[in-house]
């Protein structure tokens, strides 16, 4: 007895389990057909059993209904009506599941309520298959780039597994754009053309192919994630790229090494220093030229003279005389007391400024100037520093003995030029002004008005340090216009102006290595007022 | 004496050949052939639905039963199924031929003719699968309706029966044919 009861219990539990497993999908199928199917009485086949159901809005008892079916002119058979409450939509459904469903024949189904026929339908059961979703959906990387292997198990239906059609839907994880692939009979598919190293979601559903059996699309499976392989570079291409890269590197290295000096010069130009010309000036005397000069004797002089004689001539700026008497005094007020000596200093001609100088007088004159400076050590320290980058060139018709000749030369741009060396680069601009003031005035007709010659000081100079005296001279050339002197001079000076503009920077930079610190911009700024 | 034995041997050879009316065919296991026939049977139904005039007279036809119970089918042997199918095909062949005589609509007549030739082809297929019933004697119209037959009263019903029969019993038999099972395994 206990054995029997136990067996019954087991059977009951199994039946319950069987029913519940069917019920999971059953309810969802019913819900879906309620929405999609237009017939009053809706039927579908699940696991070879036909189920027909209908919806009832009013409160009814299932016992009120009578369900009958018949086929092939046989007698009507009855079916037990059950009720189901759909939780999702809160609806009540009455259904009947045929115990033995005949396929490939016309079924006549009828529903009666209280003796009256409610619904009637004729259908072939094989046309309304509603399958469960495929099971065991697996998505694996296929080992190739941009591919995924998708596989699943077919529905558990004997005799029907060769009549199935599947739909595979896949999309990038997180994206709503999906693609669909249709595949017949086979339960395996290789997805192609995918992005590499990307996560994909895959769904599958199934339907009868419509030849022997027809039906509804099953529900989609739960999505399964798959990752495509990261793109790997073809090893041959990698090797080739590396090889070519190596060759290019070697070539570039060879080029660089063979021209390293040239490249270095271009990228990191040497700042020319006059150190090699003035041994010990920077190392021993710490830049103190006075001290250095005192240390060195005539050998140094000769060398420096030689330096100057090596200078290539630069265009000569011809200027009129500068009358410095009145303004020279006014300027003195501005000047430092030390500079007073400078005024009295004889100018030294700058061989580098002119290309029309005759060398012998130039050298002779230079020597004289140097001797003069040597007698006055104070001024020397200020005026003879080679590294000073100011060079004022003045015309002094009366300063030289051969003034007459030189006057003519002026017009031909061959007048001897007097140069004043300013103090060191650290001097203020006022110093340069004072130097201007020290311009000797010629007594000739080409005299610069003292006013005009000192227009310079009134103008703002850049604090970089005095520019080229050349420039100063050029400016004073402008003031020349005001003088009522000969127009020919003006025109010539105009020419000079042109020259100053053109030659200025280049010459001083190229021909004056000693004066490498000359401020180019200073000269440019000087040019400003000229124009 | 020698000529006599020679003649006998020749006769024996002929008899042996005569025993096998048709040379053994390669088994046709591809069900797509049957699917093609099924589609053409469905086309006949469609043409029938659209036929206006000359669509055959109201006549009763004896047709096979088409219903399939899968539970029963599992327990049925293949030979039993083969007999059922063969009989049914014969019935359909006869019925369709009778129906075609009353049809004047040319598309419908062509469709029916197509169906008849398909049924003959199915016979060949069954033969290739070694499933053809030995007895090929067709029952005539006057034969009583066996338990395996049913009566229909119109051509549309006949066509529907044909379609169901092909999709159901014939297909299940072909898919269960041992010759094809051996090939698959």
pLDDT at A176: 83
Encode pLDDT of A384-443 as tens digits: 444 444 445 444 544 444 444 444 444 444 444 444 444 444 444 444 444 444 444 444
Phi, psi of A97 (to 5 degrees): -110, 115
Alpha-carbon A420 to chain mean position = 53
pLDDT tens-digit series, residues A446-477: 444 444 444 444 444 444 444 444 444 444 44
Torsions phi, psi for A394 (to 5 deg): -125, 155
User: How long a stretch of residues is chain A?
Assistant: 531
A103, A106, A158 ranked by CB distance to B68: nearest: A103
CA distance A409 to A360: 16
- Per residue in B10-36, pLDDT (tens digit) is 887 777 766 655 556 677 888 889 999
| A70 → chain B, closest CA residue | B67
The verdict on B152 touching A (C-beta cutoff 8 Å) is: no
Per-residue model confidence as pLDDT tens digits over A185-233: 899 999 998 888 889 999 999 999 999 999 999 999 999 999 998 877 6
Which segment of A14-18, A42-46, A498-502, B156-160 scores lowest on mean pLDDT?
Answer: A498-502
CA angle A360, A364, A369 (to 5 degrees): 145
Tabulate helix, strand, coil % of chain B (nearest 5). 65, 5, 30
Interface contact A211-B35, CB threshold 8 A: yes
The three-class DSSP label of residue A293 is helix
Contacts of A218 (CB under 8 A, 6+ apart): A130, A131, A132, A133, A134, A155, A205, A206, A207
A152: helix, strand or coil: strand
Instruction: Compare CB distances from B38 to A73, A100, A212 and report the shortest one's residue.
Output: A212
Give the CA distances from residue A33 to residues A22, A472, B125, in Å, rounded to whole numbers and listed in that order.
16, 104, 40
| Cα B146 from Cα A487, distance rounded (Å) | 145
Dmax (CA) of chain A:
157
Tokens of A320: 């009129």
Furthest CA-CA distance within chain B: 73
Contacts (Cβ under 8 Å, ≥6 apart) of A356: A313, A316, A409, A412, A413, A414
Euclidean distance between CA atoms A352 and A425, whole angstroms: 19
At residue A67, the pLDDT reads 92
Contacts of A37 (CB under 8 A, 6+ apart): none
CA–CA gap between residue B166 and residue A482 (Å, rounded): 125
**Hey, what long-range contacts does A494-498 have (CB within 8 A, 24 or more apart)?**
A495/A413, A496/A315, A496/A316, A496/A317, A496/A318, A496/A319, A496/A413, A497/A530
Residue A155 near residue A164, CB atoms below 8 Å? yes
DSSP, collapsed to helix, strand or coil, labels residue B73 as: helix
Q: Token digits for A227?
A: 């990752």
pTM: 0.54
Binary contact (B69, A104; C-beta < 8 A): no
Show residues of chain B in contact with A214, CB under 8 Å: none
The 8-class DSSP code of residue A482 comes to G
Name the residue facing B169 among A104, A124, A162 (closest C-beta): A104
Contact B67 A104 (CB under 8 A): yes
Strand pairing category for A178-184 and A164-172: antiparallel
Distance of alpha carbon B26 from alpha carbon B129, whole angstroms: 8
Backbone angles phi, psi at A514, to 5 degrees: -65, -30
Model pLDDT for residues A83-113, shown as the tens digit of each residue: 888 887 788 899 999 988 999 999 999 999 8
Q: Are strands A215-216 and A129-130 parallel, antiparallel or unpaired?
A: parallel
SS3 category, A41: coil
Helix axis angle, A260-267 to A235-258, nearest 10°: 80
- Residues of A with a Cβ under 8 Å from any B Cβ are 48, 71-73, 100-106, 124, 126, 158-159, 162, 211-213
**Taking CA atoms, what residue in B is nearest to A105?**
B67
CA-only gyration radius of chain A, Å: 56
Q: Cα–Cα distance between B145 and A72 in angstroms, integer? A: 14
Task: Give the mean pLDDT of chain A.
Answer: 69
Q: Which residues pair with residue A276 across a beta bridge?
A: none
Distance separating alpha carbons of residues A192 and A144, to the nearest angstrom = 10
Residue ranges of alpha helices (H) inside A396-443 are 403-411, 429-437
Q: Scanning every residue of chain B, which has its alpha carbon at the shortest distance from the alpha carbon of A107?
A: B67
Chain A residues within 8 A of B39 when measuring between CB atoms: 211
Size of interface A-B (CB pairs under 8 A): 56
Q: How far is CA B99 from the centre of its chain?
A: 16
DSSP state for residue A74 in the 8-state scheme: P
Is ipTM > 0.85 here? no
Task: Report the gap between the CA of B161 and the closest CA in chain A (Å).
Answer: 8
- The verdict on a CB contact (< 8 Å) between A105 and B31 is no
Instruction: Kindly report the backbone phi and psi dihedral angles of residue A336, in degrees, each rounded to the nearest multiple of 5, phi listed first.
Output: -75, 150
Which of A84, A101, A96, A94 shows the shortest CA–CA distance to A49?
A101
Contact A152, A136 (CB under 8 A): yes
Cβ contact B164–A73 (<8 Å): no
Contact of B168 with chain A, judged by CB distance below 8 Å, is answered with yes
Q: Which of B69, B71, B171 sits opposite A212 (nearest CB)?
A: B171
> pLDDT (tens digit, 0 to 9) for every residue of chain B, 185 residues total?
788 888 888 887 777 766 655 556 677 888 889 999 999 999 999 999 999 888 888 889 999 999 999 888 888 888 889 999 999 999 999 999 999 999 999 999 999 999 999 999 999 999 888 877 554 444 444 444 456 789 999 999 999 999 999 999 999 999 888 888 765 54
Tokens describing residue A445? 């007709």
**Mind listing the pLDDT tens digit for each residue in A110-125?**
999 888 898 999 999 9
The reply to whether B184 touches chain A by the CB within 8 Å rule is no
Q: Tell whether B175 lies on the interface with A, counting CB pairs under 8 A.
A: yes
Q: Is B4 on the interface with A (CB under 8 A)?
A: no
- Return the DSSP state at A480: G
Question: Which residue in B65, B73, B167 is closest to A212 by CB distance?
Answer: B167
Answer for the pair A130, A215: CB distance below 8 angstroms, yes or no: yes
Give the up-direction half-sphere exposure of residue A223: CA atoms within 13 A in the CB hemisphere. 13
pLDDT single digits (tens) A340-350? 444 444 444 44
- pLDDT of A185 reads 86
Q: What is the mean pLDDT of residues A40-66?
A: 86
């Amino acid at each position: 007895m206990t054995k029997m009861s136990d067996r019954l219990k087991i059977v009951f539990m199994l039946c319950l389990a069987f029913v519940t497993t069917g019920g999971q999908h059953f309810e969802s199928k019913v819900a879906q057909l309620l929405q999609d199917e237009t017939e009053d009485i809706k039927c579908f086949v699940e696991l070879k059993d036909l189920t027909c159901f209908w919806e009832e809005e009013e409160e009814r008892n299932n016992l009120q209904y009578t369900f009958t079916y018949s086929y092939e002119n046989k007698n009507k058979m009855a079916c037990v009506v059950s009720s189901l409450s759909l939780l999702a939509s809160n609806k009540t459904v009455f259904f009947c599941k045929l115990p033995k469903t005949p396929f490939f024949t016309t079924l006549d189904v009828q529903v009666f309520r209280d003796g009256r026929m409610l619904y009637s339908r004729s259908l072939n059961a094989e046309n309304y298959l509603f399958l469960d979703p495929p099971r065991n959906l697996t998505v694996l990387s296929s080992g190739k780039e941009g591919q995924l292997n998708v596989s699943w198990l077919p529905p558990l239906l004997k005799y029907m597994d060769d009549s199935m059609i599947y739909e595979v839907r896949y999309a990038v994880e997180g994206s709503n754009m999906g693609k669909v692939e249709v595949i017949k009979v086979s339960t395996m598919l290789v997805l192609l053309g995918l992005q590499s190293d990307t996560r994909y979601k895959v769904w599958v559903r199934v339907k009868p192919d419509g030849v022997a059996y027809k039906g509804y699309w099953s529900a989609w499976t739960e999505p399964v994630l798959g990752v495509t392989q990261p793109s790997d570079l073809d090893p041959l291409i990698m090797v080739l790229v590396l090889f070519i890269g190596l060759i290019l590197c070697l070539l570039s290295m060879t080029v660089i090494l063979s021209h390293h000096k040239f490249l270095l010069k271009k990228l990191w130009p040497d700042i020319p220093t006059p150190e090699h010309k003035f041994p010990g000036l920077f190392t021993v005397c710490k830049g103190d030229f006075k001290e250095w000069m005192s240390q060195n004797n005539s050998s140094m002089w000769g060398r420096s003279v030689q330096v100057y004689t090596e200078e290539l001539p630069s265009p000569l700026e011809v200027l009129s005389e500068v009358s410095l008497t009145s303004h020279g005094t006014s300027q003195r007020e501005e000047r430092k007391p030390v500079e007073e000596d400078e005024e009295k200093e004889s100018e030294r001609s700058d061989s580098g400024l002119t290309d029309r100088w005759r060398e012998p007088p130039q050298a002779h004159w230079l020597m004289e100037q140097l001797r003069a400076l040597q007698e006055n050590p104070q001024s020397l320290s200020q005026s003879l520093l080679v590294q000073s980058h100011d060079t004022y060139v003045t015309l002094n018709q009366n300063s030289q003995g051969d003034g007459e000749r030189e006057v003519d030369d002026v017009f031909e741009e061959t007048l001897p030029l007097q140069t004043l060396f300013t103090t060191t680069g650290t001097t203020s601009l006022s110093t340069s002004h004072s130097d201007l003031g020290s311009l000797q005035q010629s007594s000739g007709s080409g005299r610069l008005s003292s006013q005009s010659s000192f227009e310079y000081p009134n103008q703002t100079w850049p604090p970089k340090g005095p520019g080229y005296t050349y420039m100063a001279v050029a400016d004073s050339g402008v003031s020349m216009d005001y003088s009522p002197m000969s127009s020919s001079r003006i025109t010539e000076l105009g020419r000079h102006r042109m020259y100053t503009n053109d030659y200025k920077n280049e010459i001083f930079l190229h021909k004056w290595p000693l004066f490498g610190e000359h401020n180019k911009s200073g000269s440019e700024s000087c040019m400003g007022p000229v124009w | 004496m020698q000529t006599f034995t020679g003649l006998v041997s020749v006769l024996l050879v002929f008899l042996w050949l005569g025993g096998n009316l048709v040379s053994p065919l390669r088994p046709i296991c591809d069900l797509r052939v049957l699917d093609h026939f099924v589609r053409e049977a469905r086309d006949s139904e469609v043409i029938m639905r659209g036929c206006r005039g000359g669509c055959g007279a109201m006549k009763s036809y004896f047709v096979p039963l088409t219903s399939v119970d899968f539970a029963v089918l599992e327990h049925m042997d293949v030979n039993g199924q083969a007999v059922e199918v063969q009989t049914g095909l014969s019935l359909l062949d006869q019925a369709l031929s009778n129906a075609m005589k009353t049809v004047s609509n040319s598309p419908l007549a062509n469709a029916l003719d197509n169906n008849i030739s398909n049924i003959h082809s199915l016979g060949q297929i069954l033969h290739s699968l070694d499933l053809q019933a030995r007895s090929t004697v067709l029952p005539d119209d006057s034969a009583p309706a066996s338990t395996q037959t049913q009566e229909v009263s119109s051509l549309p019903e006949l066509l529907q029966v044909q379609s169901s029969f092909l999709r159901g019993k014939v297909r299940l038999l072909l898919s269960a044919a041992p010759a094809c099972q051996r090939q698959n395994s």
